[in-house]
Structure 1
Amino acid sequence: MSTVDAPTIIAAGLDDWRPLVHSLHARFRTGDFATGLDFLVDVGAAAEAANHHPDVNLTYTHVDITLTSHDAGAVTDRDLEMARTISDLAAERGLEADPGRLTRLEIALNAADKDAIGPFWGAVLTGEAQAYDGNQVADPTEQVPLLWFQPTPPRDDVPQMCFHLDIWIPAGQLPARIEAAVAAGGRVVDDSESPSFVVLEDAEGNKACLCTVLDRS
């Protein structure tokens, strides 16, 4: 088992899937609950056979599937193989993927001393102070978005609490998402790190980062 980077994933020809953060994501349109449930029965059998299990979310209209190798903390060869298997199962049922709708949300909080506040946020978000691992608070049940702490020097001229949102999207969606945000009254604050991330703000100065997996170490 070896980890694979974003360019390798993109070159793998997995048209149904997109890399977001440290995982692979796909959405398959099912149209009704029963079709989605039957599809997940197939996916579950394939996962058991491979001993590699995705995270799934079943709704009435679609199924969202996430693949990552938790022991590696990244996407690996076995995730690529499982992605191909799941796409084949979807094709057999005539289900179409909808990669343009994929999004993952993270929250960033400016912190002059993350260790002083991290356990608190672990406790209020998950009920466990130990959910703070020294850099972030991750809810294993994914009921709340990941919260990470951005090192920030103490300053008297900015609010003590300063959140912003990181919205992870497929790399190909970045130009259209920026265009939509600007058309809706926002503006680009900083695109010097594009396509890794672009900072935008709304009409009142509230900021958000549109993030992709491209051009990251």
Structure 2
Amino acid sequence: MTYAEGRAERIRPQRFHETPGLEDWRVLGEGACAYFRTGSFAAGARLVQAIGALPGVGDGPPDVDLRHEGVTVRLITITDDSYGLTERHIELARRISSVARTLDIPADPSAVQTVQVTVDALARPDVVPFWRALLGYQDRANSPEDLIDPHGRGAPFYLQQMDAPRPQRNRVHVDVWVPYDRAEARVAAALAAGGRLVNDADAPSNWVLADPEGNEACVGVAGRPGTGPARP
């Protein structure tokens, strides 16, 4: 295997989480994310500029969201045949965290999350084209049931295959992906706010909740340290 091939090797979320030096980052449903509390737009702009100057950052640059109070950075590879994390992201995440520390900008791993909309479908191949056209989205690599925003702004849509109709249950729900060390607190907060637990058979990776009127939502975690083999 060449050096370039090694850097492009796909890795699982757990492999990322268990690598030293990545404490600022959390893998969510849509890549590895970090949030840096800059306190001002100018400080955030300096951080973004410093990230842009990192060696090799142009080889699949990170997604960056600059706001006046902070900067969110997402690392993910999206190609025609790949969607996820690679060995390269480990090195890049370390360098980004190092730059932030040099600028005295703290990270807040508890502040990241991603949201996905899930639509249940009895005839998924018939339903996907409608949502693709309506949203202006595109198919996710190697995953015909997933639609993503080509501009990386909107929440992804997942078209979930149903085996039979489910009377009295909603067929559209929201999946909220949170850091592995914040999931139980988020579930507890939702329950305290009037929700109820529908299913926790897949906890601590996924909980199905419902609001007081029965509308469902899921809280999900993309891997966590110490749960099995770190490599695919």
Structure 1 runs of 4+ with >4 Å offset:
47-50
In 2, the alpha carbon distance for the partners of 1:27 and 1:101 equals: 6
Residue 56 of structure 1 contacts residue 66 of structure 1 at CA under 8 Å; is this kept in 2?
yes
User: Using the alignment, how far apart are the partners of 1:199 and 1:93 within structure 2?
Assistant: 40
* Percent identity over paired residues: 31
For the aligned residues, what is the CA RMSD?
A: 2.0
Measure, in 2, the Cα distance between the counterparts of 1:152 and 1:49: 41
Q: Which of 180, 186, 196 in structure 2 is aligned with 1:177?
A: 186
1:120 to 106, 130, 142: 130
Q: Equivalent of 2:116, from 89, 93, 106?
A: 106
Distance of 2:135 and 2:84 partners within structure 1: 24
Q: Structure 1: 5+ residue runs without aligned partners?
A: none
Q: What residue identity is the alignment partner of 2:14?
A: P
Letter in structure 2 aligned against 1:148:
Y
Helix, strand or coil at the partner of 1:97: coil
1:140 aligns with 2:118: no
Q: How far apart are residue 187 of structure 1 and its match? A: 1.2
Whether contact under 8 Å (1:121, 1:132) holds in the other structure is no
Other-structure match for 2:42? 34
Contact 1:47 1:54 in 2 (8 A): no
In structure 2, C-alpha distance between the alignment counterparts of 1:47 and 1:69, rounded to whole Å: 17
Higher relative contact order (CA 8 A, sep 6+): 2
**For residue 63 of structure 1, what is the aligned residue in structure 2?**
71
1:12 aligns with 2:22: no
Going from structure 1 to structure 2, the CA distance change for 1:49 and 1:67 (only over 3 Å counts) comes to closer
2:176 counterpart (158, 167, 171): 167
Measured against aligned partners, the alpha-carbon deviations of 1:128-175 in whole angstroms (never above 9, x if no partner) come to: 6xx24621221111332111111112427357x710100000111011
CA distance in structure 1 between the aligned counterparts of 2:193 and 2:166, rounded to whole angstroms: 32
Scaled by the length of structure 2, the TM-score of the pair is 0.85
**Aligned partners of 1:32 and 1:156: how far apart in 2?**
48
1:9 Cα deviation after fit: 1.2
Task: Note closer, same or farther for the CA distance 1:156–1:65 as it changes in structure 2 (3 Å cut).
Answer: closer
Larger fraction in helix: 1
TM-score between the two structures when normalised by the length of structure 1: 0.91
Letter in 2 for 1:11: E
Distance 1:186 1:47, change over 3 A: farther
Give the Å deviation of 1:47. 5.4
Is 1:45 paired with 2:53?
Answer: yes
Q: Supply the distance in 2 between the matched residues of 1:15 and 1:170 (Cα, whole angstroms).
A: 11
Which residue in the other structure is 1:155 paired with? 165
Give the paired residue count: 213
Unaligned runs of 5+ in 2: 1-6
**Aligned-partner residue type, residue 96 of structure 1:** P
